[in-house]
Amino acid sequence: MAQAPALAGLPPDVGDMNRVVAEVARINGVALNAPHELLDEEALRQRACTELLRQAAQQAGLLALDDVPGVEGAISAAASNAIEQLLDRELPIPDPSEEACRRYHDAHPAAHAHGERVQLRHVLFAVTPGVDVKLLRLRAEALLIELRCADDGGAKFAQAAAQWSNCPSGQQGGELGWLSRADCAPEFAREVFGSAEIGVLARLVHSRFGLHVVEVVARDPGQQPAFEEVRQAIALTLRQQAWVNALRQYLQLLAGAAVVEGVALDAADSPLVQ
């Protein structure tokens, strides 16, 4: 997928935004990483969740008890198949109702628009190896508040972009011009498109490039399809959302019943997870 011209000059990997860990983390005594193997926190959590599910599949009789994790978090084909069976059994997701789909369509009128475009400006705080992410975030958040409070026709935003932005667009006041979803990194597009917000967004936008203070100068909503045209797409979206929520709750229950060492996981101490 293409990226905005102003963002395309930046490297695809601008460094990890989390600290790394070298201690050995464990789920019920099973090591998640080798000694001195450096993992960012998100990668470690992903391994922990996979291990919780692998062990749950064993307890459910879907996977042999002599199955063990592979190198660097890999799991066997048998474990992968068993986890899939486990989730199919434990997370049955009903099809969303017609009413639920219509509510979603009414609440997200631009979600499936054709030809939607936005005119943007941004200030990029790039996350690069060795950067103090905490201080970078504080600087970005302070600037976000400052620019949201500015009432000068946009002059302060242009000055801030020239002073702080790590994107070449900073020299043009942060201007990115008119962009479509296809012009942006997917995680950036998800935060910017599909809404009616105008002005400096009330939140920092996170992307693979770093932290962005974003101003939506104008929107072109494109063509809004009729409900019947997007009914199946909406149903799929709602099913995916329901499945993700159900998986999160299931993992919380598993973590609450497990001995978790060296990794931060949300855990539920009750079968009722709110």
Structure tokens at 63: 């996977």
Residue 41 has pLDDT above 90, yes or no: no
Least confident span in 2-6, 84-88, 115-119, 216-220: 2-6
- What's the pLDDT tens digit per position in 85-104? 999 999 999 999 999 999 99
Give me the chain's average pLDDT, please.
86
- Write down the H helix ranges in the chain: 5-8, 41-59, 77-90, 98-107, 133-149, 155-164, 186-192, 227-256
Give Cα separations from 62 to 81, 82, 100 (angstroms). Answer: 9, 5, 35
Predicted pLDDT of residue 267? 61
Predicted pLDDT of residue 1? 38
DSSP letter assigned to residue 69: -
Predicted pLDDT of residue 15? 39
- What's the pLDDT tens digit per position in 216-247? 999 998 887 889 989 999 999 999 999 999 99
Residue 210 has pLDDT above 90, yes or no: yes
Which domains does the chain possess?
A: 26-95+237-261 (no CATH), 117-220 (3.10.50.40)
Predicted pLDDT of residue 261? 92
CA 45 – CA 32 distance, rounded (Å): 9
Residue 183 has pLDDT above 80, yes or no: yes
Residue 54 has pLDDT above 60, yes or no: yes
Structure tokens at 156: 């302060």
Which residues sit opposite 40 in a β-bridge?
20
Burial zone of 101 (CB within 10 Å; 0-12 exposed, 13-18 middle, 19+ buried) = buried
Least confident span in 12-21, 116-125, 170-179, 213-222: 12-21
Q: Is the dihedral of CA 155, 159, 165, 167 positive or negative?
A: positive
Predicted pLDDT of residue 265? 86
Contact predicate 120/193, CB 8 Å? no
Distance from chain centroid for Cα 27: 25
Residue 174 has pLDDT above 80, yes or no: yes
Instruction: Determine what percent of the chain is predicted with pLDDT higher than 70.
Output: 89
Residue 42 has pLDDT above 60, yes or no: yes
Predicted pLDDT of residue 268? 53
Predicted pLDDT of residue 26? 92
Predicted pLDDT of residue 11? 35
Give Cα separations from 28 to 48, 54, 217, 247 (angstroms). Answer: 10, 12, 52, 20
